[in-house]
Structure 1
């Protein structure tokens, strides 16, 4: 499976405004971060959960031992761009911590049980990130 090719195809389909093969458009966000080494923008499609005015994204990396690149990028530079539905906006990415992170993580695992499976595959704490419009 070529993840980069799948992501490119998903981004193209999302931006074209039509159906996205194998995914639910209404649950998909395109998150653009700035590369921590290159300074270049990188766009990653991912699932989100709406929590009031903010979006929550999960850096599960399918249970891999390392955080995904997009997460490592936003830790260094939390200024991101969000594309959701038909709108694009600047946002601030904030990894949740403490009780708030634990509460949201428990809720997300109940709503989306595959995240619990991801958690069993890794020793790292899976980050939950809040995307708040600037």
Structure 2
């Protein structure tokens, strides 16, 4: 089954992010069978706070997220923001945490990628849609 068209997915995630924010995580932590967090980064160009909802996996003390951008050849803005300024905040349900983001090592990515694809098979399709290597980002306690 193919992933939803990009405009549809963008609207769904925008509504999801708004609900997550408005309800302070009471609605949105579990979404369409996925466990999600809300990542807030500082915009590298504007300096404004930007939030996005992402599916995550726990991995030791860190949380892993995928910078897929729905299979686009361009990386997601949140990943570019995080690379420019690794300090960020996450919300998991009502709980907030300060984190630092980094790209996983090759070994970490090799171990985590199959787990993400098992959890959300569209990631395999996103990987086929782009020539870029889709990063897995580790969000670790700051």
TM-score range, shorter chain: 0.7 to 0.9
* 1:9 positional shift: 3.0
Cα contact 1:26–1:85 (8 A) shared by 2? no
1:82 aligned residue: 90
1:11 aligned residue: 17
* Aligned equivalents of 1:111, 1:47: Cα separation in 2: 9
User: Unaligned 5+ residue runs, structure 1?
Assistant: none
* 1:52 positional shift: 2.6
The answer to whether structure 1 residue 42 and structure 2 residue 12 are counterparts is no
Provide TM-score, normalisation by structure 2.
0.81
Question: Aligned with 1:27: secondary structure?
Answer: strand
How many residues in Structure 1 have an aligned counterpart in Structure 2?
A: 132
Question: Aligned with 1:29: secondary structure?
Answer: strand
* Aligned equivalents of 2:103, 2:54: Cα separation in 1: 16
* Aligned equivalents of 2:33, 2:117: Cα separation in 1: 21
Which aligned runs of 4 or more in structure 1 are off by greater than 6 angstroms?
none
Cα contact 1:80–1:90 (8 A) shared by 2? yes
User: Unaligned 5+ residue runs, structure 2?
Assistant: 1-6
When residues 26 and 101 of structure 1 are mapped into structure 2, their CA distance, relative to the original with a 3 A threshold, is closer
When residues 107 and 10 of structure 1 are mapped into structure 2, their CA distance, relative to the original with a 3 A threshold, is closer
When residues 26 and 125 of structure 1 are mapped into structure 2, their CA distance, relative to the original with a 3 A threshold, is closer
The answer to whether structure 1 residue 127 and structure 2 residue 135 are counterparts is yes
* Aligned equivalents of 1:122, 1:45: Cα separation in 2: 21
* 1:18 positional shift: 4.0
C-alpha RMSD of matched pairs (Å): 2.2
When residues 51 and 65 of structure 1 are mapped into structure 2, their CA distance, relative to the original with a 3 A threshold, is same
* Aligned equivalents of 2:15, 2:128: Cα separation in 1: 29
* 1:23 positional shift: 2.2
